[in-house]
Amino acid sequence: MSWLLLVFIVAGAVVLVRIFSSVRKMKGAPDSDWDAKQIEQLRAQGSDPFQPHMVDFFFALPSESACEAIRRQLEFDGFSVDSRAVPDSTEQPFSLHASKSLRISVPDMRDLSRRFGQLASAQGGRYDGWAAGVVRRS
């Protein structure tokens, strides 16, 4: 009976060690999503994420009507929007650019990227991401 108890104790210890090491690996793993990397890159260049940034968002869309549908939604939310034909692209022949002054944070930018991806997909297009310039700490 003592051998059986010893086997259970050793097995339990092995399980605990594996769980502990898995949790440590997950905590140490860098966040690999695009929005977080963009913000990290801006911070590394000296940008102050607590200051508003002029953020540009890019969409590739199949038609003028798709551009107009997204334009209406984004302008309602306070974005400046322009679009143009891209004659070299047969797959997505229209480009839409939206911009707005925002404070950038990983959760907020992830939410916007998710939302914009859904907007573009609903119109048969794609969301191509965002860009922002460096805003120095004051």
Counting beta carbons within 10 angstroms of the beta carbon of residue 14, is it exposed (0 to 12), middle (13 to 18) or buried (19 or more)? exposed
pLDDT at 50: 83
> Rounded mean pLDDT of 53-71?
95
What's this model's pTM, rounded to 2 decimal places?
0.74
pLDDT at res. 31: 40
pLDDT at 30: 45
Over range 31-54, report the average pLDDT: 87
Cα–Cα distance measured from residue 109 to residue 81, given in angstroms and rounded to the nearest whole number: 18
19-33, 50-64, 98-112: the lowest-pLDDT one: 19-33
How confident is residue 89, by pLDDT bands cut at 50, 70 and 90?
confident
- Whether the predicted pLDDT of 28 surpasses 50: no
Give the torsion sign (CA, 128, 98, 63, 65): positive
Taking the C-alpha atoms of residue 8 and residue 62, their distance in angstroms, rounded to an integer, is 62
